[in-house]
Structure 1
Amino acid sequence: MTEVIATTPGLFPLPDWAKEELSDLKGHQKDDLISGDEGEAVLEAYDRARNEVVETQEAAGLDRIVEGQLRWDDMLAHPLVVHDNVETRGIVRYYDNNNFYREPVVTGELSYDGDVAAELDAAGAVDQAVLPGPYSLSELATDEHYGDEAAFLDGVAEFLAGETEALPEVETLFLLEPSLVTDPPGDGEDRRASAAIDRVAAAADADTDVVVHTYWGAIPEKPYAHLMDADVDAIGFDFVNDHEENVYNIQEYGTKESIAVGVVDGQNTLVETPAEIAERVEWVEENVPAQSFETVYATANTELFYLPVNRFEAKLEALAAAPAEVSR
């Protein structure tokens, strides 16, 4: 029997009180933030906000609880932005939307940092970790150290592997790889991207299921075929933005024994009902009849920080209720 697990790709919106409080605190601590020292008051506010979003997920009844990535002001670029050998030099558009991040420029070796592991340790009751995938993280950054794209991708993969090894024990690790869709790798690079993902996945604990979640459309055929070579437990698909091409990839090239289905719109304030989510999960299963899934991760298609807090919370509740309505 297929197990349906309600989860999210993380990167939650800050609670409203935290937005106001942190904006005020950061305004007073501008010099400290530039130097990388957030200050005790800022860290304490993030701690309270983190506890709140963990409790929100628990109250909603989600099957997997994430830390929320509330400190990730630079979204998926965050693990590089906070690194000692990375400089931030300007504001860059975050994919094709109205969000922006500080461009991370890698000026030295990407040695172990431990920032993500520390956040998970602080969160406590978390059973799913979230990291950017190596290909997307390399695409979001600029290299001034490694010398060429292949070496840079390898360096980013080694960095993320080290961060993964340090994670506390979790049930699931989501590696977020939207750049496989928005800026797909070309010939040769597609093999390297798959190998980089494989390197990070291999660093996870043997009992942790690794999900490579892609979104903002469908991966082109050739990069998808190479992604299938990576030793991961599941690939995630954005069935909100492009259900036809994603189903085609699965029908043509297969997929892993488990799957993540992005069936809740992470950027639209319209809240799906549990029944609608269940229908979308069933639609995916019906359209790939040759595939029998061990686990289906029902999730939002994208990060959730785009949403107002009340809509975000409502979507969590709908996601959590959906598995009970999926026909077995």
Structure 2
Amino acid sequence: MTDIVATTPGLYPLPDWAKDDLSDLKGHQKHDLIDGDEGAAVADAYDDVRAEFVADQRDAGLDRIVEGQGRWDDMLAHPLTVHDSVETGGIVRYYDNNNFYRDPRVVGDLDASGDVAAELSAAADLLDNDVLQAVLPGPYTLADLATDEHYGDEAEFLDAVGDFLAGEVEAFPAHETLFLLEPSYVTNAPDDDLNELASETIDRVAAATDADVVVQTYWEAFEETAYAHLMDADVDAVGFDFVAADRDTNLEYINELGTKADIALGLVDGQNTLVEDAGTVAERVDWVHDQIPAQEFDTTYVTPNTETFYLPVNKQQAKLSVLAEAADIAADADAAETEVEA
């Protein structure tokens, strides 16, 4: 019997009131990054955003609560764009969609900044009996989104980014789960020279926490060699996009090469405003389990396939509720099936 957990990869859309207030507070520069020198009014606004994100997740009944990353104007590049050794360059398209971020150009040594840890600590202060989940870009993705103007070698740069993220994680408050978001691992897979190192850097970041670590990929399916090397990383789960990616390819690698004891399933569309039916999502959970007959997972995470900042707030809130309800339905069905088999 698998423990079915409803959660998200974070990066929520800002409420409309926050967009308006923060635009005014930041001099109508909507894409301006707020760093450690942000004014008190801006910091207070983000505190209110964080509280709203936590309340939304609690109201929906999610099993893991994320901070929501309201300050991450540059999305997954954020942990670098706030770093003292990074200069922000021009606007770059975020993968193949209509979102943009400022190119983080690394111009000096990377060391832990504590920025994400401070956000997580603020979120933890809002929790009662809720379970905190940390979210970070994975090291391969963060290196892929950045420009190296300091280390001068692709492998050395990836290694440095891994050390940087491991240092960030060491400063985190207590958390049950860590999601490392690695879309680049499938959209721009490591080449032969980096495959082993990419897996090793993920392993290093995972080793910095006692929490369960999920490497969440999305938008595309794995390449075989990259997936095989990722299996060497000591993580608890790998996440697969079952909305946008080629599901047959992912299932082929899972069944041929195996996977971790836990699994994360991207089953709710994080980019489409159509709100799924919870029963249908629960059926998708069961369907994926049926396609992997050789393995019974300890934990199955049910998530959107991507971040949800693409969505209007009301649609995102509705999808949070769908995730929680779907996980409950799937858990009940799994328990009933286990009882019958017994």
Q: Give the TM-score normalised by the residue count of structure 1.
A: 0.97
Q: Which residue of 1 aligns with 2:296?
A: 292
**What is residue 68 of structure 1 aligned with on the other side?**
68
Amino acid in structure 2 at the alignment position of 1:245 = T
Shift of 1:37: 2.4
Which segment is superposed worse, 37-46 or 53-62?
Answer: 37-46
Q: Is the 8 A contact 1:219 1:246 kept in 2?
A: yes
* Residue of structure 2 aligned with 1:277, choices 274, 278, 281: 281
Q: Paired residue for 2:240, among 237, 242, 259?
A: 237
Residues 33 and 323 of structure 1: CA distance in aligned 2, closer, same or farther (over 3 Å): closer
Residues 35 and 278 (structure 1 numbering): CA distance in 2 closer, same or farther, change over 3 Å?
closer
Distance 1:283 1:122 in 2: 38
- How far apart in 2 are the matches of 1:121 and 1:59? 21
Correspondence for 2:209 among 192, 198, 204: 204
Structure 2 spans left out of the alignment, 5+ residues: 335-342
Number of the residue aligned with 1:192? 197
In structure 2, the CA distance between the partners of 1:29 and 1:16, relative to structure 1 (3 Å rule), is closer
Aligned residues with identical type, % of pairs: 68
Deviation, 1:36, is: 5.8
Corresponding residue of 1:20: 20
Where do 4+ consecutive residues of structure 1 move more than 4 Å? 32-36
Opposite residue 296 of structure 1, the aligned amino acid is T
Q: Hey, what's the Cα distance between the residues in 2 that align with 1:60 and 1:35?
A: 31
Classify the secondary structure of the residue corresponding to 1:181. Answer: helix
Q: How does 1:133-152 map to 2 (within 5 A)?
A: 133-152=138-157
Give CA deviations for 1:65-87 in whole Å, capped at 9, x if unaligned.
00000000000000000000000
Using the TM superposition, give the Cα deviation of residue 188 of structure 1 relative to its aligned residue in structure 2, in angstroms.
2.3
SS at match of 2:26: helix
Residue 34 of structure 1 and its aligned partner are, at CA, apart by 7.9
Counterpart amino acid of 1:75? M
Secondary structure at the aligned position of 2:27 is classed as: helix
After superposition, what is the alpha-carbon deviation per residue over 1:289-321, rounded to whole angstroms, capped at 9, x for unaligned?
001100000000100100000000000000011
Q: TM-score, normalised by structure 2?
A: 0.93
Which residue number in structure 2 is paired with residue 172 of structure 1? 177
Give the count of matched residue pairs: 325
2:188 matches 1:183? yes
- Which residue in 2 is equivalent to 1:132? 137
Q: 2:340 matched to which residue of 1?
A: none
Q: CA deviation at 1:29?
A: 8.2
2:266 & 2:28 partners in 1: Cα distance? 39
User: Is the partner of 1:5 in helix, strand or coil?
Assistant: strand
From 290, 295, 308, give the equivalent of 2:312: 308
Show structure 1 runs of 5+ residues with no match. Answer: none
Alignment of 1:221-236 (within 5 A): 221-236=224-239
